[in-house]
Amino acid sequence: MDITLPEIQLKAIGVVRNEIKEPTHRYSEKVVSEIIIDSSLTEALDNLDEFSHIIILYWIHLSRRPAPTKVHPRGNPERALMGVFATRSPSRPNPIGKATVRLLERKDNILKVQGLDAIDGTPVLDIKPYIPGYDSVDDARAPSWMIKR
C-alpha cells in the first residue's frame, strides 16, 4: 500500500566535539566528548545533571547517501546482508543515531559525556534522561549474530 509521507524539518540543538575525526565501526566506550548546546537552550539543561546517564539523539551527517536497504552488520562483509532496519548501521533512510552515555559534567551549555559513538562536528537533535526500568526491557531478545561482539 502506498502512502503519502509528510516532510519533516529538524534543527540541531547542539554539536559534538571530540577527538574522533573519521567514522568507524568501532568506537571506544572510554571516549570523552563535549556536547555544545545552543546557548538559547541552556535553561533546558537544568536538572539534567541529576541523572548519571542520558540518551543522545544525533544526525549521522557523514552517512552514505542514498542509504542502502541492506547492509553487512558492523560493516563486516563476512556477515550476511541484513535489512538496514535490523541493524545499527549508520547508513539509514534517516540517519538518526542514538546513544546512552554517562553524563560526567554540565557546565552552562556544555555537557561532558563518556561513550558517545559520534564524530567531531556531529549535529545533536535531542537529549533525554536515561531512566532505569523505563528505558530497559527485561524480556528483550536479539539474534545471536547481533549479540556477538
For residue 148, pLDDT over 80 is answered with no
User: Residue 36 domain-assigned?
Assistant: yes
For 46-87, how does the pLDDT look when each residue is reduced to its tens digit (9 = 90+)?
999 999 999 999 999 988 778 889 998 878 889 899 999 998
Distance CA 80, CA 108 (A): 46
Q: What is the dihedral of CA 131, 85, 115, 63, to 10 degrees?
A: -140
User: Residue 54 domain-assigned?
Assistant: yes
What 3 state SS string does the chain have? CCCCCCCCCCCCCEEEECCCCCCCCCCCCCCEEEEEECHHHHHHHCCHHHCCEEEEEEECCCCCCCCCCEECHHHCCCCCCEEHHHCCCCCCCCCEEEEEEEEEEEECCEEEEECCCCCCCCEEEEEEECCCCCCCCCCCCCCHHHHCC
Q: How many domains does the chain have?
A: 1
- The letter for the amino acid at 116 is L
User: Residue 137 domain-assigned?
Assistant: no
* Residue 12 contacts residue 59 (beta carbons within 8 Å): yes
**Domain of residue 30, residue span:** 14-60+95-131
User: Residue 56 domain-assigned?
Assistant: yes
pTM: 0.90
User: Residue 21 domain-assigned?
Assistant: yes
User: Residue 113 domain-assigned?
Assistant: yes
Strand partners of residue 110: 36, 107
CATH number at residue 102: 2.40.30.70
- Rounded to an integer, the average pLDDT of 37-48 is 99
User: Residue 140 domain-assigned?
Assistant: no
For residue 149, pLDDT over 60 is answered with no
User: Residue 74 domain-assigned?
Assistant: no
